[in-house]
Amino acid sequence: MKYQYSSSDNNKMDIWGVFFYILLVAIGFINIFSVTSDVNQTSLVLSDIAYKQLFFIGGAIVIILTLSFANVVLIDYLSYYVYAIVILLNIAVLFIGKEVGGAKSWFGFGGFGIQPSEFLKLATSMALAKFLGGYGMRFSGWRNVTYSIGIFLFPVILILLQNDTGSALVYFSFFLVLYREGMPGYIIILAFWMGLLTILSIVFQGLEISSYYLVGTILGVGSIAVYFARKSRQWVVLITFIAVSSAVFSTIVGIVYDKVFQWYQKDRIEIVLGLKEDKQGMGYNLDQSKVAIGAGRFIGRGFQNGTQTKMGFVPEQHTDFIFCTIGEEWGFVGVIVFFSAFLGLLIRLIQLSERQSDAYGRILGYSVCCILFFHWFVNIGMTIGLIPVIGIPLPFVSAGGSSLWGFTLLLFTFLRYDQVRRN
């Protein structure tokens, strides 16, 4: 079947997608400019960081213009090649990359650095769309399911080897894409149950209670359930299996948490779970972040008037903790505007994905949407204390070239594909 693209009503990229992108980038630059300016500065003089971000925005414009003239057939055709090349770059960075913030995931070029893992998100999205979007392909059978999951789990392994846990977790958002493509709902329930068991196991560890108590509790509840369901042999077998497997899983989590996790990783998790207070150590970032956001109140302290962030009380306030600047300087009103812009983009991406006439476009669109949602949810969650601090940028808003360029490529590759989608 040959590709025949329509241009009758798609002469321009989706105006709403472009609008929300420009709005978010503008919000990011304004807050980066504000938070990186001198404390007593009142004039509009750009800091070095703001100048760099302006350069990165210029690079993003070049990316958009390049994509707007790209042959859309190549997006589909080159998917596996792009995936392979970016995978090789992420392998190479393990050997010749430089270490930044404890993660060996950067190529250094003078005063600039490029993080190849940021571009792996697009490559993985394209490869998954190419595989599941093939002619006659169905998301069923162990082979297809295994290949699909393997496409985004292999990057997870590479990024974990780079010691960048936050970026690695992003790839689990692809499970939401698979759910849209027909993955059984019980897998989502299973993932939720495993997450709950993981939290309970860590809580038991943090309280210095032997994990055997948790194992015993699970087995006990399972036994009671078996007793009441004993008239149905299938239910007895199912509940017994769930109880035993849950107990084994909890034991493994306890061992891994105790033997594999580094002390600072444990501290971050235990602070969020309320098992530990360390306001001068690992908990400092989180505590100052909450103070900054709370200080903004309803309308905020005003542009360049955010003392908590501007005076450096919140570390990394122009990158991973940029949301604190929005909260302090623009208050509840500013946060609502920002949330509305981001959620508006996500909703529009879902609408565009659903109107695609081929599976490739739909899967690519949902991949973009799920990745952006995961970044937004986790970044906001860690700044307000709902999620451990794992170091993950806020799309289009956090300072940084690799982040902005990676997300720009991700979004506009799909918008370009949608622009000339098939009838």
| Tokens (6 digits) for 220 | 């006990």
HEC string for 1-36:
CCCCECCCCCCCCCHHHHHHHHHHHHHHHHHHHHHH
| SS3 assignment, position 422 | strand
pLDDT attached to residue 268: 65
| Tokens (6 digits) for 161 | 């080897």
| Tokens (6 digits) for 158 | 């590479």
Contact 200, 208 (CB under 8 A): no
pLDDT attached to residue 389: 76
HSE-CB for 146 with a 13 A CA cutoff? 3
pLDDT attached to residue 301: 84
pLDDT attached to residue 222: 66
Rg (CA), the chain: 23
Calculated CA dihedral for residues 203, 208, 212, 218, nearest 10 degrees: -20
Residues 242, 260: Cα–Cα separation, whole Å? 26
Strand order in the sheet with 103-109: 98-100, 103-109, 112-114
C-alpha closest to that of 127 among 149, 157, 105, 94: 149
Residues 51, 46: Cα–Cα separation, whole Å? 6
| Tokens (6 digits) for 235 | 């239910």
DSSP label at residue 281: T
Cα distances (Å, whole numbers) of residue 213 to 203, 208, 216, 218, 219: 12, 11, 5, 9, 10
Contact 87, 119 (CB under 8 A): no
Q: What is the pLDDT along the chain (423 residues), one digit of tens a residue?
A: 344 455 444 468 899 999 999 999 999 999 999 888 776 655 677 888 889 999 999 999 999 999 998 888 888 899 999 999 999 999 998 888 887 766 677 887 766 778 888 999 999 999 999 998 876 666 666 778 788 889 998 998 888 888 787 788 899 899 889 888 877 777 777 777 777 777 777 777 665 555 556 666 666 666 666 666 665 666 667 677 777 777 777 778 777 777 767 766 677 667 656 666 665 555 677 777 888 888 888 888 888 777 776 666 677 778 888 998 899 899 999 999 999 999 999 999 999 999 998 889 999 999 999 999 999 999 998 888 787 777 789 999 999 888 999 999 999 999 999 988 754
Which residue in this structure is represented by tokens 């002469």? Answer: 11
pLDDT attached to residue 35: 86
Contact 33, 50 (CB under 8 A): yes
pTM of the model: 0.83
